[in-house]
């Protein structure tokens, strides 16, 4: 279960700092920093890609010119079995108006993707995510999106365009993203978490995913926690 720091003053400070970080969306940092020694099995940086980083993401809408999209890094952190942080039990309303809690998926492997319809790399990775969700559906793997700073109309059009069948939580005010501030906060958009059946985060990918790389990772986590 996710627990906030005990001090209200400290809690407010961390929340403000996290909100500022989300607003700026700086270039993704190397994931190994800030993780306890021995907790990370592998931290891989490769495959230079474009990320929706730099500038306030609220300004990077479908109506903008996209100049706030700057180069980022494909950055993957894989945690040793059982050592990853416990995912907070976030909940909210989906883009179709249904109530949904991450805890409902406990016992399944969950792929949690933070995205926005205004984000170029999110559009590029969407076909891979949609295909992987279909491929792993029968193997106890659930996909869930978190739509950041978006309108339901634009997000639903995005999902129809890319034939995404899994649900996404509507997070216009970053509340769900902020819930991860003490575990594995999204360092840029897109960010994808792979969560094991016990609720522990097994991996975090900052940047655009690929079908082959994410598919291998999901298969590994599925077998490890079976």
pLDDT at 224: 79
* In the block, residue with structure tokens 């993203």: 177
Domain count, the chain: 1
The range of the structural domain enclosing residue 207 comes to 8-224
Q: Calculate Rg over the CA atoms of the chain.
A: 16
- 3: in domain: no
Per-residue pLDDT of 21-46, as tens digits, reads 555 543 333 333 333 323 323 322 22
- 68: in domain: yes
Q: Domain holding 19: CATH number?
A: 3.40.30.10
- 115: in domain: yes
* In the block, residue with structure tokens 């996710």: 2
| Phi-psi label, residue 38: left if phi above 0, alpha if psi -120 to 50, beta otherwise | left
Task: With cut-offs at 50, 70 and 90, classify the pLDDT of residue 10.
Answer: very low
- Residue 90 DSSP symbol: -
Alpha-carbon separation of residue 62 from 129, 134, 144, 157 (angstroms): 21, 28, 22, 12
Q: Percentages helix, strand, coil for the chain, rounded to the nearest 5?
A: 30, 30, 40
Task: Say which range, 41-55, 90-104, 145-159, 173-187, has the weakest mean pLDDT.
Answer: 41-55
Q: Write the secondary structure of 26-52 as one string of H (helix), E (strand) and C (coil).
A: CCCCCCCCCCCCCCEEEEEEEEEEEEE
Angle (CA) 29-217-24 rounded to 5° is 25
Looking at every residue in the chain, the average pLDDT score rounds to 75
- 1: in domain: no
- 146: in domain: yes
């Amino acid at each position: 279960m996710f627990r906030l720091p005990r001090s209200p003053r400290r809690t407010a400070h961390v929340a403000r700092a996290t909100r500022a970080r989300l607003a700026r969306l700086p270039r993704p940092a190397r994931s190994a920093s800030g993780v306890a020694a021995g907790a990370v099995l592998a931290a891989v940086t490769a495959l230079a890609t474009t990320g929706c980083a730099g500038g306030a993401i609220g300004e990077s809408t479908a109506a903008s010119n996209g100049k706030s999209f700057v180069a980022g890094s494909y950055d993957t952190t894989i945690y040793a079995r059982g050592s990853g942080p416990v995912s907070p039990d976030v909940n909210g309303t989906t883009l179709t108006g249904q109530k949904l809690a991450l805890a409902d998926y406990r016992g399944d492997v969950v792929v949690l993707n933070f995205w926005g319809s205004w984000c170029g790399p999110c559009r590029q990775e969407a076909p891979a995510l949609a295909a992987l969700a279909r491929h792993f559906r029968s193997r106890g793997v659930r996909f869930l999106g978190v739509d950041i700073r978006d309108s339901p109309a634009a997000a639903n059009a995005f999902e129809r365009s890319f034939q995404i069948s899994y649900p996404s939580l509507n997070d216009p005010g970053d509340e769900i993203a902020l819930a991860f501030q003490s575990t594995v906060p999204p360092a840029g958009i897109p960010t994808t978490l792979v969560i094991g059946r016990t609720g522990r985060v097994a991996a975090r990918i900052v940047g655009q995913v690929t079908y082959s790389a994410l598919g291998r990772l999901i298969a590994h986590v599925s077998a490890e926690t079976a």
